[in-house]
């Protein structure tokens, strides 16, 4: 039984001029208990919209037009605001981007974690304080007390990120959604935080949706990888399968455009990277969304939209070239 299931999610934003921008056009997947699902997507793919839509935290200009989010036996999109509030933070925790902005600037970080507990628990202050201390010790070991009394501007980027993680796990949720949690961090801190996630996930049996635009972060970290493009799922499968042998032309082109092995010889340096031409700003209304930039396009790609089909065991792709 999947712990979280997204079905046919459609989200649109209305701009000031009155036009509608389709951010998600039928995204769907299932998250299994205890698995890390890596969602790979670049700007314009709809990944941040996905993170916000799952707990109905879209900005006022965004609307969920179709679809369902099934969690613990109910459709979250149909829930009322109090039911949603009880789910957020306690059952499904979200870690948004930019740790420096996601924390209240004038509240001590210990208090900020405490507030999350207080919002979902009727227990007394003493019990809550103990739980907060436990969580801090888990993430900060010896330094826990000093950090808990600090304000966000007194902490480093990595420490702030750990505070966000503390806020996310303190109520022992079943699902954590992390939207680019390591984007603004140094490489060594990035590795540290990934390690923290992995440890916690194993310890607390969490299911995690890890959203990023860098596929290399998912290697050795995610169990399954899902690729978003133009608001749709274009590929989904076990991490080793998708990362080692990607099937969708977008996924393949993306991996090729990353500066690869450092141990390569001099001839590879300062040569042009095989970048994907164009950008995702204007998607075609009909046919495959990736078709304008695809090097393997065929005539049918402009006329019809490919469906997600099974390429191999549990590995689905939406591309006509993979339909056998």
Partner 1 sequence: MQPLIKVENLCKRYARRSLLGAGEELLALDRVSFTILPGTTLAIVGESGSGKSTLALCLACLEHPTSGGIWFAEKEIANLSENELRKCRPQIQLIFQDPANSLNPRWNALEILLEPLAVQNKSTRAEMKHRASFLLERVGLSPEILKRSANELSGGQRQRLAIARALALEPKLLILDEALSALDCSVQAQIANLLLELQSSLGMTYLFITHDLAMAAHFADEIAVMNRGRIVEHGPAQKVLQQPGNETTRQLLAAIPRMSNATLPVPER
Partner 2 sequence: MRYLLRRLGHAFLLLIGVSILAFFFATLAPGNYFDEMRLNPQIAPEAVAALRAQYQLDRPLPMRYVAWLNSTIHGEMGFSFAYNSAVAPLLISRARNTLLLTITATLLAWGIALPLGVWSAERLGRLPDRLLSWGTAALLVIPDLTLVLGLLVFAVKTGWFPPGGMVSVDFENLSSIQKVRDLMRHMTLPVVALVLSVLPLLVRHVRAAVADVLGAPFLLAAQGHGIRRRTLLYRYALPAAANPLISLFGFSIGTLLSGSLLIEVVMSWPGLGPLLLESILSRDVYVVIGGVLLSTLFLVGGNFLADMLLYWIDPRIRTESSAP
**Per CB under 8 A, 104 contacts partner 2:** yes
Closest separation between CB of residue 223 and partner 1, Å? 13
**Per CB under 8 A, 283 contacts partner 2:** no
Burial of 214 (0-12, 13-18, 19+ CB in 10 A): middle
Q: What's the half-sphere exposure (Cβ side, CA atoms, 13 Å) at 32? A: 9
DSSP category for residue 277: P
Closest separation between CB of residue 197 and partner 1, Å? 8
Q: Which of 157, 238, 284, 292 binds partner 1 (CB under 8 A)?
A: 157
Positions 27 through 46 that interact with partner 1 (CB under 8 A): 42-44
**Per CB under 8 A, 208 contacts partner 2:** no
Q: Which is nearer to partner 2, 64 or 102 (CB)?
A: 102
Number of other residues whose CB lies within 10 A of the CB of residue 146? 11
Binding mask 258-277 for partner 1 (x = CB under 8 A): xxxxxx--x-xxx-xxxxxx
What are the C-alpha distances in Å from 111 to residues 133, 139, 141, 253? 11, 16, 18, 46
Total residues at interface with partner 1 (CB under 8 A)? 50
User: Is the CB of residue 228 less than 8 Å from the CB of residue 47?
Assistant: yes
* CA 11/CA 46 separation, integer angstroms: 9
Q: Which is nearer to partner 1, 123 or 260 (CB)?
A: 260
Choosing among partner 1, partner 2, none, which partner's interface includes residue 255 (Cβ < 5 to 8 Å by kind)? partner 1
Q: Which is nearer to partner 2, 87 or 241 (CB)?
A: 87
Which helix (H) or strand (E) is 128 found in, with range? helix 125-140
**Per CB under 8 A, 167 contacts partner 2:** yes
Q: Which is nearer to partner 2, 156 or 199 (CB)?
A: 156
* CA 7/CA 46 separation, integer angstroms: 15
């Amino acid at each position: 039984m999947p712990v979280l299931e997204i079905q046919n999610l459609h989200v649109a934003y209305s701009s000031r001029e009155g036009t509608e921008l389709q951010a998600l056009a039928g995204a769907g997947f299932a998250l299994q208990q205890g698995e890390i699902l890596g969602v790979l997507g670049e700007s314009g793919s709809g990944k941040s919209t996905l993170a916000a839509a799952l707990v109905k935290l879209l900005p006022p200009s965004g609307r969920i037009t179709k679809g369902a989010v099934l969690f613990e036996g109910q459709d979250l999109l149909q829930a009322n605001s109090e039911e949603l509030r009880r789910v957020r933070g306690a059952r499904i925790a979200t870690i948004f981007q930019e740790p420096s902005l996601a924390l209240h600037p004038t509240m001590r970080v210990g208090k900020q974690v405490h507030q999350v507990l207080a919002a979902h628990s009727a227990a007394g202050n003493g019990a809550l304080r103990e739980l907060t201390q436990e969580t801090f010790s888990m993430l900060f070991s010896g330094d826990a007390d000093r950090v808990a009394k600090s304000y966000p501007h007194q902490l480093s980027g990595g420490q702030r990120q750990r505070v966000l993680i503390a806020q996310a796990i303190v109520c022992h949720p079943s699902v954590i959604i992390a939207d680019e949690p390591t984007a603004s961090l140094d490489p060594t801190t990035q590795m540290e935080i990934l390690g923290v996630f992995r440890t916690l996930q194993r310890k607390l049996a969490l299911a995690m949706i890890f959203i990023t635009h860098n596929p290399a972060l998912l290697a050795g970290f995610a169990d399954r990888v899902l690729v978003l493009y133009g608001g749709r799922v274009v590929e989904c499968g076990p991490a080793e399968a998708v990362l080692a042998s990607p099937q969708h032309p977008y996924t393949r082109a993306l991996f090729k455009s990353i500066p690869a092995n450092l141990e390569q010889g001099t001839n590879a340096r300062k040569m042009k990277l095989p970048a994907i031409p164009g950008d995702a700003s204007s998607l075609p209304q009909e046919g495959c969304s990736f078709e304008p930039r695809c090097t393997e396009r065929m005539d049918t790609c402009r006329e019809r939209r490919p469906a997600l089909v099974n390429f191999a065991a549990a590995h689905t792709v939406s591309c006509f070239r993979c339909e056998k």
